[in-house]
Structure 1
């Protein structure tokens, strides 16, 4: 195993047991709601978040970790590791990368490589998982950086929201704006583009057709080859489990997991969101 630390952010929302067993470190994004500040997945879990959201009259806001928190993490990790690789949520939807890069420019005890993955959630989780595997096989920092850049270029994420209201209120609607205000039955298939910003791929009628199209996209992306797949959901586990089963039947999956959306991402997409990440 290499002596390189992996530091990611809370939107990857990997299981705690996996984080501990692979020595993956996490810096949380922030949620601000009716005068209370929360750290993503630390002070509030997805279950607590959606319970609170259901009866809320206001929608929370989110923010990136500040520079000093990244500096503190770098300082702590430098005591144990020879280098740090930092794969993070897309700069197209969060300022987290900016904080990490600024902190890295102020830090010199060990080399730090900040990776803009141009994605988040299940796709970020897949990338971090692959880096953890490479690290366990002895990859050095430069090899991990090259691996991360390769994965970023290969990874796709597609998702469908129950309503565009949350993306609109959170200012992250991007290319999906042309569908805002359309009939509730219209379900845009959204994705993160090459710049890591939200784009609208196409639209379908009904959630059932949206799910079917997400599965088709996973099949198309696999192109008959073995792939890594993450099914993502926001408070929609039973539907995610059904998606996982259908994908397993149609795709040769080297890795297939369900990933719950962290509260920070849930803030912007809302409950009922389903999606798929593939590389």
Structure 2
């Protein structure tokens, strides 16, 4: 009989609280560094407080990946409870989190641990966590849960429109969208995750047009597929996230939807006002 499987992820996934409980997920927090203070993402600082402070702060935060020690602490607790461990992490092309996890794993040679680089962020990784969690609840082995998450991530897409590219540029996460810098401030960029990096799609003239066009691009990707799971993600822009979700789901019915903040560690790099869609479409269906 296979040992029970627990999932470890990092705070940038920012999955719903009920999933954390249901799937027995442990969170290794990224670190937000602000005015010399180290704050554990989602533990010491939450999105509401973070974005309020960011909007009025004269200093800007930076981030650091979870330390190997922080990941190891999660692993040790779960091994002590008799679990095999599946680590599902933010894209290795955006963060060094997976490297920290690999170091933690190397310090625990007797533990049964597998890792997955989602090449995604936020609920892009979250949907893979959900599917792996369901497999674990069904009694699947560690290898089977890993295979489930690996397949799920092939059906995931993440599309965003930041209010400005300033934060992505400052944090070094701008990728190919570098070529959008220096254009008129009124132009709103549309970006997507491609092979683990943020890449440019288009620029449009107004925020309203950006939301409409982003919805169109997402619908193009998910139309005709089922099942469909859609999360609207936002950096202190809940009303626009709801509007974006409505635009998508009015065109393509979804099996499950949710709206969630991006975590402070992600918000440090996207900046306030960012909205987007993270979807999973066609996994286990057509």
TM-score range, shorter chain: over 0.9
Q: List aligned pairs for 1:63-82, cutoff 5 A.
A: 63-82=64-83
Q: Counterpart in 2 of 1:108? A: 109
SS at match of 1:253: coil
SS at match of 1:257: strand
Q: List aligned pairs for 1:12-161, cutoff 5 A.
A: 12-161=13-162
* TM-score relative to the length of structure 1: 0.95
Q: Counterpart in 1 of 2:283? A: none
Number of residue-to-residue matches in the alignment: 278
Q: Counterpart in 1 of 2:193? A: 192
CA distance in 1, matches of 2:213, 2:99: 34
Task: Answer whether contact 2:175 2:197 (CA < 8 A) is retained.
Answer: yes
Q: Counterpart in 2 of 1:225? A: 225
Task: Answer whether contact 1:121 1:259 (CA < 8 A) is retained.
Answer: no
State the 1:77 CA deviation: 0.6
CA distance in 2, matches of 1:59, 1:37: 13
State the 1:71 CA deviation: 1.6
State the 1:275 CA deviation: 0.6
SS at match of 2:53: helix
CA distance in 1, matches of 2:191, 2:249: 22
Residues 12, 233 of structure 1: alpha-carbon distance in 2 compared, 3 angstrom cutoff: same
Task: Answer whether contact 2:55 2:272 (CA < 8 A) is retained.
Answer: no
Q: Counterpart in 2 of 1:241? A: 242
State the 1:252 CA deviation: 2.5
Task: Answer whether contact 1:10 1:28 (CA < 8 A) is retained.
Answer: yes
Task: Answer whether contact 2:7 2:23 (CA < 8 A) is retained.
Answer: no
Task: Answer whether contact 2:5 2:86 (CA < 8 A) is retained.
Answer: yes
Task: Answer whether contact 1:160 1:190 (CA < 8 A) is retained.
Answer: yes
* TM-score relative to the length of structure 2: 0.93
Task: Answer whether contact 1:19 1:25 (CA < 8 A) is retained.
Answer: yes
Deviations 1:231-251 (A, max 9, x none): 111100011112222222211
Q: Counterpart in 2 of 1:207? A: 207
SS at match of 1:7: strand
Deviations 1:128-150 (A, max 9, x none): 11211222222211111111111
Task: Answer whether contact 1:104 1:112 (CA < 8 A) is retained.
Answer: yes
CA distance in 1, matches of 2:16, 2:172: 29
SS at match of 1:126: helix
Q: Which runs of 5+ in 2 are unaligned?
A: 281-286
CA distance in 2, matches of 1:13, 1:168: 23
Task: Answer whether contact 2:11 2:27 (CA < 8 A) is retained.
Answer: yes
Structure 1's consecutive aligned runs of 4 or more residues displaced over 6 angstroms after TM superposition are none
CA distance in 2, matches of 1:75, 1:108: 12
RMSD: 1.4
Q: Which runs of 5+ in 1 are unaligned?
A: none
CA distance in 2, matches of 1:37, 1:18: 27
SS at match of 2:134: helix
